[in-house]
């Protein structure tokens, strides 16, 4: 707030008032519908925000010296938000895991049924945790690799706060029973429209920073972050094309139907994996890994090949989610073959990351933060291999609809996405809050081993469970009929479900240790006296008039 100029304070206040009006209209229009509750939530947020602005409106205005440092306050907020979301999201995930072990754990409430808390888990970890971490690190990385400060103080806050409002609308909506029933795109039309607004501001902010860069070349990380922002906008808009029942209802109906609907959903779904969970996090990896290892990127040329390979091939592969369905076979063929092709640039990325560590392996041994990133690259390679393999039709006929898919997703989500994020956050927290190091290197070590053990237990449990399940479903007896009933396969999976829930619990405990460590770092670790060098400053700006 102290960094906001007078004009920005005025615009922020106007935005909050506008938001309050929108919330009020939703309350009025949707009073007979859960939409009204969301209207009230928005109204509450807006009123709270307005008072926040008003109470600090007359605080001293920032001087021109603010321009001599990167604007990291939004990144700080994003990192903290990511950790809050991950603790909540992993808790919900482990609850869902125990719910599958013991179906009575809903405690007879509607909001806690499997169909509602499962998307609460996925949205909290993917969008709450992953999204906040991506936005926070993208602002951080973009400013430094461009040697340019963010163009203004307001838009990054609009992006982060607006994005978190979207996540809260999504998660509370599921518990109220509001859903589009599109996997990973469950929020209804009004939340979707809000996200479009937020995302466009994000994109524009990014381009404006890029346009102000003082480096002649754009660093790899920014290619990936830009691909992430641009493609996610495209995916989100197309997949969520829908007509609401009325402006006073939360419910809407998709523009697509039948197999086109399924194809649109999985074109979105798989590219969410590609451009949200892969591209953005590769951007993170390409900055934080060489930075932490103190090594140059292994090969600039390999970076280029992998970037364009991943970006071009990924767009095609969504149909591999619909093998052996009503989807025409030629579409399945394209999805499968491009999935196989995709393996090469994926492994090139993982290889480029691991080879970058050549000459720094002793640091990997001693530094759990760097080890987080190294293991992430290993899991990235593992998961992309598994993904291409599972996309091959005959393999898919065994793996599809089984827990193998869940195991694959979590090898990616826990092993790759969460590990690279934890590594990057552990690297950036001391930099952001200007500390010498994390509060406790030992606790980072504890977190690392809990996370790795949790991931391995989880993934092995689901591999076993999935393959057992898949084989049981296709086992015939001598009479030529199915040997097992569906319930038989559930009983066979029970021990694996327990193992999975235990693995998830280990991962959750690790994340909580991480939260504590970060809290103590921010609160208690010794403050660094001054910037070590000018390398953490934007390029000298020509003298401009101080903020009005």
Partner 1 sequence: MGIGERDPHTGHMTTGHEWNGITELNTPVPRPVYVFLAAAALFAILYWVLMPAWPTGGSYTKGLLGYDQRAAVAESLREAALGRAALTKKIAAEGFDAITADRDLMDTVRQTGRALFGDNCAACHGREATGNKGFPNLTTASWLWGGSPETIAETIRVGINSAHPDSRTSQMPAFGRDGVLPRIEIENVVAYVKSLSEPQSARGHEAAVAAGRKVFASTCAACHGEQGTGNSELGTPNLADQFWIYGGDSETLVKTVWGGRQGQMPTWEARLTPVERKILALYVYDLRRRQ
CB of 385 to partner 1, least distance (A): 12
Looking at the Cβ atoms of 123 and 383, the one nearer to partner 1 is 383
In the block, tokens 């021109």 appear at: 64
By CB under 8 A, name the one of 107, 529, 535, 542 that touches partner 1: 535
**CB-CB contact of 454 with 503 (8 Å):** yes
CB of 135 to partner 1, least distance (A): 19
Q: How far apart are CA 229 and CA 201, in angstroms?
A: 11
The residues near 276 (Cβ < 8 Å, ≥ 6 apart) are 126, 130, 131, 134, 228, 232
Residue 224 interacting with partner 1 (CB under 8 A): no
By CB under 8 A, name the one of 50, 145, 254, 424 that touches partner 1: 145
CB of 141 to partner 1, least distance (A): 8
Residue 168 interacting with partner 1 (CB under 8 A): no
The residues near 359 (Cβ < 8 Å, ≥ 6 apart) are 295
Cα-based angle 218, 222, 225 (whole degrees, multiple of 5): 160
By CB under 8 A, name the one of 253, 300, 308, 401 that touches partner 1: 300
In the block, tokens 């869902």 appear at: 96
Sequential DSSP letters for 349-369? HHHHHHHHTTT-HHHHHH-HH
CB of 3 to partner 1, least distance (A): 22
The residues near 8 (Cβ < 8 Å, ≥ 6 apart) are 152, 153, 154
By CB under 8 A, name the one of 144, 321, 371, 447 that touches partner 1: 144
507: number of CA atoms within 13 Å, CB side? Answer: 32
CB of 339 to partner 1, least distance (A): 10
E-assigned strands of 6-56? none
Positions 330 through 369 that interact with partner 1 (CB under 8 A)? 330, 332-334, 336-338, 340-341, 343-344, 347-348, 351, 358-359
The residues near 363 (Cβ < 8 Å, ≥ 6 apart) are 292, 293, 294, 370
SS3 call for 244? strand
By CB under 8 A, name the one of 486, 519, 531, 534 that touches partner 1: 486
Looking at the Cβ atoms of 177 and 328, the one nearer to partner 1 is 328
Residue 485 interacting with partner 1 (CB under 8 A): yes
CB of 262 to partner 1, least distance (A): 16
Looking at the Cβ atoms of 129 and 316, the one nearer to partner 1 is 316
CB of 44 to partner 1, least distance (A): 40
Q: How far apart are CA 320 and CA 335, in angstroms?
A: 5
Residue 479 interacting with partner 1 (CB under 8 A): yes
Contact footprint for partner 1 (CB under 8 A): 144-145, 147, 215-217, 219-220, 287, 290-291, 295-303, 305, 309, 324, 328-330, 332-334, 336-338, 340-341, 343-344, 347-348, 351, 358-359, 477-488, 535-536
């Amino acid at each position: 707030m102290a960094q906001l100029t007078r004009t920005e304070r005025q615009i922020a206040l106007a935005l909050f008032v506008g938001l309050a009006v929108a919330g009020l209209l939703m309350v009025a229009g949707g009073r007979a519908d859960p939409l009204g509750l969301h209207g009230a939530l928005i109204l509450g947020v807006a009123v709270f925000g307005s008072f926040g602005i008003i109470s600090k409106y007359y605080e001293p205005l920032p001087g021109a010296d603010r321009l001599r440092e990167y604007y990291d306050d939004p990144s700080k907020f994003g990192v903290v938000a990511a950790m809050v979301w991950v603790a909540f999201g992993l808790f919900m995930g482990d609850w869902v895991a125990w719910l599958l072990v013991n179906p009575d754990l809903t405690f007879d409430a509607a909001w806690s049924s499997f169909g509602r808390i499962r998307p609460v888990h996925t949205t909290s970890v993917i969008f709450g945790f992953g999204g906040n971490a991506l936005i926070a690190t993208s602002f951080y990385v973009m400013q430094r690799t461009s040697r340019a400060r963010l163009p203004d103080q307001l838009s990054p806050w609009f992006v982060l706060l607006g994005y978190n409002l979207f996540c809260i609308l999504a998660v509370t909506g599921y518990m109220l029973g509001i859903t589009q029933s599109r996997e990973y795109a469950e929020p209804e039309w009004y939340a979707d429209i809000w996200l479009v607004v937020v995302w466009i501001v994000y994109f524009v902010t990014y381009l404006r920073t890029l346009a102000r860069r003082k480096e002649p070349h754009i660093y790899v990380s920014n290619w990936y972050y830009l691909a992430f922002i641009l493609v996610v906008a495209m995916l989100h808009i197309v997949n969520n094309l829908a007509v609401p029942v009325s402006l006073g209802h939360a419910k809407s109906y998709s523009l697509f139907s039948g197999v086109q609907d399924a194809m649109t959903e999985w074109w979105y779904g798989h590219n969410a994996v590609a451009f949200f969970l892969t591209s953005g996090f590769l951007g993170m990896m390409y900055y934080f890994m060489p930075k932490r290892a103190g090594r140059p990127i292994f090969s600039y040329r390999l970076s280029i090949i992998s970037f364009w390979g991943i970006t071009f091939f990924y767009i095609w592969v969504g149909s591999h989610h619909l093998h052996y369905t009503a989807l025409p076979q030629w579409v399945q063929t394209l999805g499968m073959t491009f999935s196989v092709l995709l393996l090469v640039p994926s492994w090139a990325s993982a290889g480029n990351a691991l080879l970058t560590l050549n000459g720094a392996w002793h640091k990997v041994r001693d530094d759990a933060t760097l080890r987080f990133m190294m293991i992430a690259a290993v899991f990235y390679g593992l998961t992309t291999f598994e993904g291409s393999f599972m996309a091959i039709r005959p393999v898919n006929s065994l793996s599809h609809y089984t827990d193998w898919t869940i195991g694959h997703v979590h090898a990616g989500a826990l092993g790759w996405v969460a590990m690279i994020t934890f590594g990057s956050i552990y690297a950036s927290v001391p930099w952001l809050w200007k500390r010498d190091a994390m509060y406790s290197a030992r606790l980072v070590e504890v977190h690392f081993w809990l996370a790795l053990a949790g991931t391995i237990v989880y993934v092995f449990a689901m591999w076993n469970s999935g393959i057992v399940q898949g084989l049981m479903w296709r086992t015939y007896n001598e009479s030529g009929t199915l040997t097992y009933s569906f319930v038989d396969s559930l009983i066979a999976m029970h021990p694996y479900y327990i193992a999975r829930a235990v693995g998830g619990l280990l991962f959750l405990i690790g994340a909580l240790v991480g939260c504590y460590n970060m809290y103590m770092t921010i609160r208690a670790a010794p403050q660094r006296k001054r910037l070590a060098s000018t390398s953490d400053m934007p390029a000298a700006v020509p003298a401009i008039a101080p903020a009005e």
